[in-house]
Amino acid sequence: MTENNINYGYITQYIRKIIPPNQGILNQMEEYAYENHVPIVQPEVARLIFVIAKIVNPTNILEIGTAIGYSAILLSNTLKPGGKIVTIERYEKMIKIAADNIKKANLENTITILEGDAEQILPTLEGQYDCIFIDAAKGQYMQFLPHCIRLLRSGGILISDNVLYKGMIATDTLVVRRKKTIVKRLRSYLDTISHHPQLESTIIPIGDGVAISYKKKNKKV
d(CA 48, CA 60): 18
The backbone region for 108, taken as left when phi is positive above 0, alpha when psi lies in -120 to 50, beta otherwise, is alpha
Residue 146 interface partner, choices Mg ion, ligand SAH, none, CB cut-off 5-8 Å depending on type: none
Angle at 77 between CA 75 and CA 80, to 5 degrees: 105
DSSP-assigned beta bridge partners for residue 211: 160, 203
Contact of residue 71 among Mg ion, ligand SAH, none (CB under 5-8 Å per partner type): ligand SAH
As measured in angstroms, the least distance from the Cβ of 10 to ligand SAH is: 24
Q: Is residue 117 near ligand SAH by the rule CB under 6 A?
A: yes
Residue 32: name the closest of 117, 97, 118, 111 by CA. Answer: 97
Residue among 144, 164, 39, 153 at smallest CA distance from 94:
39
Q: Which of 43, 47, 48, 70 binds ligand SAH (CB under 6 A)?
A: 70
Chain positions 125 to 184 lying near Mg ion, rule: CB under 5 A, are: 135, 161-162
Q: Which of Mg ion, ligand SAH, none binds 32 (CB below 5-8 Å, type-dependent)?
A: none
Regarding 207 and contact with ligand SAH (CB under 6 A), the answer is: no
Shortest Cβ 163–Mg ion spacing (Å): 9
Contact string 13-42 vs ligand SAH (x = CB under 6 A): --------------------------xxx-
Q: What torsion, rounded to 10 degrees, do the Cα atoms 4, 6, 9, 11 define?
A: -160
- Residues 32, 50, 91, 214: which binds ligand SAH (CB under 6 A)? 91
Element (H, E) at 134: strand 129-134
Q: Does 89 bind Mg ion (CB under 5 A)?
A: no
Residues near 131 by Cβ (< 8 Å), separated by ≥ 6?
52, 53, 56, 58, 60, 61, 62, 75, 156, 157, 158, 159
Q: Applying CB under 5 A, which residues contact Mg ion?
A: 135, 161-162
Interface residues with ligand SAH (CB under 6 A) are 39-41, 65, 67, 70-71, 88-91, 94, 117-119, 135-137, 140
